[in-house]
A and B are shown apart, each in its own frame.
Chain A
Amino acid sequence: MQIYERYGPALLRKAQRVLRSRSEAEDIVQHLFLELLETKNMNVDLPYLYRSVTNRCLSRIRDEKNRARLLAEDGGASFESRRADESVTMTQDLLVKLVAELEEDEGQVLVLYFFDEMSLEEIAEMLGVHRKTVAKRVDSIRTRALSMAGGAS
């Protein structure tokens, strides 16, 4: 399947960036493509698939069994942000706690902004919302993250 070969590696990297598990990432990406095959939905681009994988990663993190695994195995591991001015250090612990508290659309912003390092404009375009809305969500996530990280240690 051409789109699997073309986009599969990028999606595996994305899912693994968030979940820190190659096997979880493979599972998510394989399921996604099997479903695309079954629905004969081949007319998709990478941004669409990115969004799909984002939602699937969030579902995994919300799942209790995975939540326990993420916390137990790799809780302190942190994502190395390229943003020079980012005050939040996104660890697995923090990700799991945030996702448990956030609404679905905030969870998407969390992944797209903090892990995929997308700009507010890119996220706004992908989610079909205003840039200002994305900016507000990022601010609110950052505030929560900082208070959680402060309270935890």
Chain B
Amino acid sequence: MTALRCIAAPISFLALERFALGELESSRRTLVEQHLEACAACRAALASINDDARALPPLVLESAPAVAPSKVVENTQQTNVRSIDSAKRGSKNSVARWAGSAGAVIALAAGVFLFVRAGSKGDGMDRPSYGEKGGSVVLSIVDEGGLETSTFEDHQRVQLLLTCPQRLDNMTWNVSVIEDGVVSHPVPVRTGVACGNRLPFGTLALSGGEPIEICVSASGNGSTEEDMKASGEDAGEWRSCLELRPKP
């Protein structure tokens, strides 16, 4: 492809996109039109926008909002909401960076507790079975066809479903993903959840070849894990973890 050069300062792709969408105010629009008339390079850039016929990938929407809007501070979102892809890291540096952002999440989302299972593989702890159990928190993971899964392919998208008993209404819920001992929080913290069966809780794109542990946990009404223990409650009932393995 021969590179076309602009006759002056190029019309930015943002301005061209807005031009194509009819969003530019009239004076700016006129300037863009005049430039385009004279400039083949910017006409070609606009044509690449108008000729882009690729389909928009479907957005895996969560149906009925059984869950109240989350109150994620903008800053929290910047630091804690990442895809699993970007959470997959190897070096010590990046692990430290992630530990740092996990800390920020805890500080901002008051009452959310975090747990890291050292080396998420085969540590001998009991894991909840798939499906629903009365009276406790159960996390289910389904593929795009809605079928429960415990394995994933590279770049596969899965949906998280939360089942929780009514006594845990209005808690704050947090999803943690643990991979190689590194915790990330790819789904915004949820508050004011009305509990029920298999509530849509978020969608994740999974990648890489290592097992991933996904945990959902509740906290709220000012109580901490310590408070729960003090009141005789089993903190384990407030959370559920599942391990997903890459498809061989």
Residues of B within 8 A of A118 (CB): 12-15
Q: Count of chain B residues with Cβ under 8 Å from any Cβ of A? A: 54
- Check if A64 is an interface residue, CB within 8 A of chain B: yes
How many positions in chain A have a CB within 8 Å of any CB in the partner chain? 46
A-side contacts of B70, CB under 8 Å:
38-39
* A26 near B57: Cβ-Cβ < 8 Å: yes
- If A40-B69, A122-B14 touch, whether A23 touches B155 (CB-CB below 8 Å) is yes
Instruction: Please state if B205 and A30 are interface contacts (CB–CB under 8 Å).
Output: yes
A8 to B21, CA, bound (A): 12
> Which stretch, A76-84, A127-135, A138-146, touches the partner chain B?
A76-84
Residue contact A39 to B59, C-beta cutoff 8 Å: no
A33 to B83, CA, bound (A): 13
Given A33-B59, A84-B5, decide whether A122 and B15 contact each other with a Cβ distance below 8 A: yes
Interface of B, secondary structure class, is loop
* B85-121 contact mask (Cβ, 8 Å, vs A): 1 or 0: 1101111001000000000000000000000000000
**Chain A residues within 8 Å of B64, by CB:** none
Q: Does B52 contact A (CB under 8 A)?
A: yes
Residues of B within 8 A of A12 (CB): 54, 56
| A60 to B: closest C-beta gap in Å | 6
Given A59-B86, A60-B86, CB of A8 within 8 Å of CB of B56:
yes
List A80-119 residues whose CB lies under 8 Å from chain B.
Answer: 80-84, 116-119
Contact B14–A47 (Cβ < 8 Å): yes
When the two chains form the complex, which single residue of A6, A38, A66, A84 contacts B85, counting CB atoms closer than 8 Å? A66
B224 within 8 A of A: no
Instruction: Decide: A38 near B21, CB < 8 A? Known: A13-B52, A30-B57, A117-B10.
Output: no
Q: For the complex, would chain A's binding face be called helix, strand, loop or mixed by DSSP majority?
A: helix
Nearest-CB residue, chain A, relative to B2 = A80
Q: Report which of B7, B17, B45, B57 forms a contact with A10, defined as CB distance below 8 A.
A: B17
**A78 nearest CB neighbor, chain B only:** B3
Interface string of A21-52 (1 = CB under 8 A from B): 01110111011011101111000001100100
Query: Within 8 Å CB of B21, what residues of A?
Result: 6, 10, 46
A8 and B48 CA atoms in complex are apart in Å by 15
**In the complex, which residues of chain B have a beta carbon less than 8 angstroms from the beta carbon of A64?**
89-91, 94
Decide if B17 touches A82 in the complex (CB within 8 Å). no
Q: Are B59 and A1 in contact (CB under 8 A)?
A: yes
- Residues of B that sit less than 8 Å from A by CB: 1, 3-7, 9-10, 12-15, 17-18, 21, 23, 41-42, 45, 48-49, 52, 54, 56-57, 59-62, 69-70, 72, 77-78, 81-83, 85-86, 88-91, 94, 155, 157, 186-188, 190, 202-203, 205, 208
Taking beta carbons and an 8 Å cutoff, which residues of A are in contact with B? Answer: 1, 4-6, 8-10, 12-14, 17, 22-24, 26-28, 30-31, 33-35, 37-40, 46-47, 50, 55, 59-60, 63-66, 80-84, 116-119, 122
